[in-house]
Amino acid sequence: MRHPDRQTRLRCVRCERPACPECLRDASVGYQCVDCVRESQGSVRRPRTFVGAEVGTRPLVMPVLIVVNVLMFVLTAVQAQSALNNQRSEVFEALVLWPQGVALFGEWWRLLGAGFLHYGPTHIVFNMLALYVLGRDLEPAFGRVRFLALYLVSMFGGNVAVFLFGSPNALTAGASTAVYGLMGAMLVAVLKLKLNPGTALAVIGLNVVLSFTLPGISLVGHLGGLAVGAGLAAGLIYAPRERRELWQGGLVAATTLVLIGLVLVGSTQIGL
Which residue among 89, 176, 211, 267 is the active-site one?
Answer: 176
CA atoms within 13 A on the CB side of 8: 18
Active site residue 267: no
Active site residue 222: yes
CA dist 119 and 136 (Å) reads 25
Q: Give 33's strand partners.
A: 24
Which long-range CB contacts under 8 A does 203-208 form with residues at least 24 apart?
207/180, 207/183
Residue 48 per-residue DSSP state: B
Which residue among 211, 218, 222, 267 is the active-site one?
Answer: 222
CA atoms within 13 A on the CB side of 158: 32
Catalytic sites, residue numbers = 176, 222
